[in-house]
Amino acid sequence: MKKVITYGTFDLFHYGHLRLLERAKSLGDYLIVAVSTDEFNEIKNKKCTYPFEERAEIVKAIKYVDEVIPEHNWEQKVNDIRSHKVDLFVMGSDWEGKFDELKEFCEVVYLERTPEISSSGIKTKIKHGK
């Protein structure tokens, strides 16, 4: 069984998130998604619309997702890869090159982002009433 892992905040879940999860799952048999906790998002200076528990429940409900785990910090990725026996680490292309050091532990793939959609963009549109 080929295990795949990806990470994200998944705030204001949208079509781009769905496509990422669908494509990540297509690369293996079992998809683990690490959802950033509220505490970790504070460290990253990210303000979420929904709390961790709700974001994790939304991600768990997606048919491509087999398991959801919390992401507490940047450093946990190596431990997650080892403890879950992950074969493939997947992230969006906006992170290209940022996790290449993980190639020592598993394959690393950066998937092209879905154009013209992001949680940040949605928040900006809502803020400006567009």
From the CB of residue 20, how many other CB atoms can be counted at a distance below 10 Å?
Answer: 22
Is 125 considered catalytic here? Answer: no
SS3 label, residue 36: strand
The catalytic residue among 44, 85, 98, 103 is 44
Is 127 considered catalytic here? Answer: no
The catalytic residue among 2, 3, 46, 127 is 46
Q: Give Cα separations from 28 to 60, 80, 86, 102, 104 (angstroms).
A: 17, 17, 10, 18, 19
- What letter does residue 42 receive in the DSSP assignment? H
Q: Is 130 exposed, middle or buried (0-12, 13-18, 19+ CB in 10 A)?
A: exposed
Catalytic sites, residue numbers: 44, 46
